[in-house]
Structure formats: C-alpha cells, structure tokens
C-alpha cells in the first residue's frame, strides 16, 4: 500500500512516498479501514514543516476518512461498507478528563492517516455523515469538531447570538456555517475583499477587512450597537486576542483555538476581567462530541467548503498551498 512518511529531521522537502506492508486482518475490537481522504490542518503543517518536530518515519495526517473493509470479533457499531472518519483524540472517548498533549494524536504522537489502509480499534472512528464524500468527511476530525465544540459544546450557542469568526480557514468557515445553521448572526473578517464576499454569500451578516480596519474589535462593537459579540472563534492567538476581547460583550465567550500569529503575547487582562469574559483554550473534542456533531450534520444538511484536493503523492504541494494562505475553507488529499 502507498503511504507518506516524514524523513528526519523533517520539513516539506522530506515527505517520502513509499510502499508499505498490508496491515492484515482486524483483531478483536478492531476494524480495517481503506482510507480514501485526508484534510489539512495547521497542526499537521506544524508537524511536517518543522525540522526535528517528528520522529523519523512518522506517518502524518490527523484526519482520515474511508470505508470499513472488515471488522474484528466483538465489533457491533460498524459493518463492512460503512463510511467512517477518524477521531483526533482517539483515547478521549467521553467525559471531562481531556488530554493536554498530543502523544496519542494520529499524525503526531503516533502514526496518522497518510496511507491507504489501517487496522485500528473501532472506537478510534465514528460514522461519517450520510451521503458525504470521503473528502468532505475528512474535514470533520479537526476543523469541524473544533468549531462545533467552540460554539455548541463550550459556548452553548443559541439562536440570535452574534458570532465573530476570523479569517477563511477551515475552522472559521465551519464556525460560520454552524452558527448560521443554528440561527445565530455572524460577523466575519478577512484581508481579502474577494474572500469577504464569499463569506457574505455563506451567510455572514457583516464583513470586515482587517487590513483596512485594524481596530476591527471596535468596529464589531459598533455593528452590534455598542453591545459587542457573544462569541469569538479566536484562531489567531497573540496578535488578534486583544481585538477579540474588545469585540466581545460583557460575559462573552472567547474560544481560543489557534496560534496562527504566534505562541505568546500580551493579553489586556484588565479589560478581560472588567468585561467578565470567559477565555477558554480548547483543542478539538472527544469521540462523544464527534458523534453528536455528525448527528447535527445529518439533521441540518450542512456541507463543508472544500477549497481544493490533491493526490496523496502531492502532499507537499498541498501543504505549500496551505502555506500560501490563498485557500478558502478546507484543503483535502485524495488517497
């Protein structure tokens, strides 16, 4: 079978396509899955692009979607022919005992899904939404579930809330779609007027070019009559968090889910305290969260926005496309 591995010390030029032995039949509690698609995330980019970041021979990619080919003894949740999608934290099945590192995350601490076939525990997967392509399903694992947890699980989103989404990456576009599907209003930002129009076509009520309006937090307050937004899906981190705090209403929920602008920086803690806002860091979600999200996707008919798909052999080119920042929505890989 084909697979991609990272050759030490790492970097996009050191992604290697090779043939690997077939993993064989599933054992008790396992399923054999023919992987058909992956999707790219910033987390995957950090793993593959930084020298010394992954062990020699690591198989990258956290998101894997495909078809069950066989099930082992004791497996009742899946059957051959089912479409399934992987879980980001396969050992976090449910409850509040959440992980705080990436040691069990496929494509990082353990081998991931940039390969044609896997044999793994059945509870490392959930069913995919009905009628979705494998490329669409592969967007659920990281980006989709992150947006769902930020808004619905942790944010307790309700109809009529105002949600701020930053940029046009996979999490932000998913967050816009989830918010609209649940009757919320959306204010979206981008540095591209063309992308802003696409955000508007997806249902954003207001759009802001953050290069032309660097004080976009204050603009969001103006657009909400001085009240501020109820939720911010904060993907930027250090450089954008101060504006997100300004944008939020008193008691707003700020979901810190990204570090696109850096790993650290100053936070206006006095303003955060004065507004009594809830700043919560989060990383994806549990298998239970994913099952609930899939049920919601089946119920609402929401479909992800896919920018472009690449072949597995062109994984480095896919990451360079991501690196350019020109994408809108998710970048996928067909395996």
Compute the mean pLDDT over every residue in the chain, rounded to the nearest whole number. Answer: 95
Phi, psi of 202 (to 5 degrees): -85, -5
Q: Note whether 215 and 299 are same-domain residues.
A: no
Q: Note whether 90 and 129 are same-domain residues.
A: yes
State CA 27 to chain mean position distance: 30
Q: Note whether 178 and 244 are same-domain residues.
A: yes
In a domain, 150, yes or no: no
**Is residue 54 over pLDDT 90?**
no
Q: Note whether 308 and 267 are same-domain residues.
A: no
For the chain, give the percent of residues with pLDDT over 90: 90
In a domain, 248, yes or no: yes
State CA 235 to chain mean position distance: 11
**Is residue 52 over pLDDT 70?**
no
In a domain, 179, yes or no: yes
Residue-wise burial string across 44-82, b where 16 or more C-beta atoms lie within 10 A, e elsewhere: bbebbbeeeebeeebbbbbbbbbbbbbbbeebeebeeeb
In a domain, 99, yes or no: yes
Domain that holds residue 248: 155-281
DSSP per residue over 161-230, as a string? -EEEEESSSHHHHHHHHHHHHTT-EEEEEES-HHHHHHHHHTT-SEEEETTT-S-HHHHHHHHTTTS-EE
Q: Note whether 293 and 254 are same-domain residues.
A: no
State CA 260 to chain mean position distance: 13
In a domain, 306, yes or no: yes
**Is residue 325 over pLDDT 60?**
yes
Which pLDDT belongs to residue 105?
97
Q: Note whether 164 and 83 are same-domain residues.
A: no
**Is residue 302 over pLDDT 80?**
yes
Query: What is Dmax (Cα atoms) for the chain?
Result: 62
Q: What is the CATH number of the domain that holds 218?
A: 3.40.50.720
Q: Note whether 230 and 326 are same-domain residues.
A: no
Q: Note whether 9 and 97 are same-domain residues.
A: yes
Residues 6+ apart with CB under 8 A from 324: none
Which of 237, 262, 281 represents a domain boundary (last residue)? 281
Which parts of the chain fold into alpha helices (H)? 42-49, 134-138, 145-148, 170-181, 193-201, 216-223, 241-247, 269-274, 287-300, 315-324
Q: Note whether 249 and 311 are same-domain residues.
A: no
State CA 77 to chain mean position distance: 25
pLDDT in tens, 61-120: 999 999 999 999 999 999 999 999 999 999 999 999 999 999 999 999 999 999 999 999
**Is residue 142 over pLDDT 90?**
yes
In a domain, 276, yes or no: yes
**Is residue 143 over pLDDT 60?**
yes
Q: Note whether 293 and 173 are same-domain residues.
A: no
CB 316 within 8 A of CB 310: no
pLDDT in tens, 241-281: 999 999 999 999 999 997 655 566 677 888 888 999 999 99
Cα→Cα distances 30→23, 68, 196, 244, 294, Å: 12, 11, 45, 44, 21
Confidence of residue 19 (pLDDT cuts 50, 70, 90): very high
**Is residue 51 over pLDDT 90?**
no
What is the domain count for the chain?
A: 2
- Average pLDDT (140-152) is 98
Q: Note whether 261 and 294 are same-domain residues.
A: no
CB 113 within 8 A of CB 38: yes
Q: Note whether 36 and 112 are same-domain residues.
A: yes
What is the value of pTM for the model shown?
Answer: 0.94
Closest by alpha carbon to 210, among 228, 187, 226?
Answer: 187
Which parts of 11-107 fold into alpha helices (H)? 42-49
Which of 281, 305, 325 represents a domain boundary (last residue)? 281
Q: What is the CATH number of the domain that holds 27?
A: 3.90.180.10
Which pLDDT belongs to residue 237?
76
- Please tell me the distance from the alpha carbon of residue 65 to that of residue 225, in angstroms, as a whole number: 44
Q: Is 218 exposed, middle or buried (0-12, 13-18, 19+ CB in 10 A)?
A: middle
- Average pLDDT (176-198) is 97
Closest by alpha carbon to 111, among 142, 90, 80?
Answer: 90
In a domain, 149, yes or no: no
Which of 281, 302, 317 represents a domain boundary (last residue)? 281
In a domain, 148, yes or no: no
Residue 206 token pair: 């207001």
Confidence of residue 306 (pLDDT cuts 50, 70, 90): very high
């Amino acid at each position: 079978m084909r697979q991609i591995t990272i050759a030490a010390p790492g970097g996009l030029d050191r992604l290697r396509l090779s043939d690997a032995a077939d993993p064989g039949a599933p054992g008790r509690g396992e399923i054999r899955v023919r992987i058909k698609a992956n999707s790219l995330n910033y987390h995957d980019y950090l793993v593959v692009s930084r020298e010394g970041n992954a062990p020699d021979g690591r198989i990258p990619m956290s998101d894997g979607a495909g078809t069950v080919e066989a099930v082992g003894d004791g497996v009742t949740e899946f059957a051959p022919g089912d479409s399934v999608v992987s879980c980001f934290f396969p050992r976090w099945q449910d409850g509040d005992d959440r992980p705080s590192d990436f040691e069990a995350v496929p494509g990082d601490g353990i081998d991931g899904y940039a390969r044609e076939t896997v044999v793994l525990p059945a509870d490392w997967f959930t069913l995919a939404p009905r009628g979705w392509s494998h490329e669409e399903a592969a967007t659920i694992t990281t980006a989709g579930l992150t947006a769902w947890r930020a808004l619905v699980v942790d944010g307790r989103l309700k109809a009529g809330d105002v949600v701020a989404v930053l940029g046009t990456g996979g999490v932000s576009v998913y967050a816009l779609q989830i918010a609209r599907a649940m009757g919320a209003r959306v204010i979206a930002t981008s540095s591209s007027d063309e992308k802003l129009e696409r955000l508007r076509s997806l249902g954003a009520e207001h759009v802001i070019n953050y290069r032309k309006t660097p004080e976009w937090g204050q603009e969001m307050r103006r657009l909400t009559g001085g009240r501020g937004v109820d939720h911010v899906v904060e993907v930027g981190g250090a450089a954008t968090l101060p504006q997100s705090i300004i944008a939020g209403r008193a008691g707003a929920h700020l979901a810190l889910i990204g570090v696109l602008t850096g790993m650290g920086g100053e936070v206006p803690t006095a303003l955060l305290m004065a507004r009594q806002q809830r700043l919560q860091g989060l990383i994806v979600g549990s298998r239970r969260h994913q099952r609930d999200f899939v049920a919601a996707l089946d119920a609402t008919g929401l479909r992800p926005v896919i920018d472009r798909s690449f072949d597995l052999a062109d994984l480095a080119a896919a990451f360079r496309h991501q690196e350019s920042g020109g994408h809108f929505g998710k970048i996928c890989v067909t395996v």
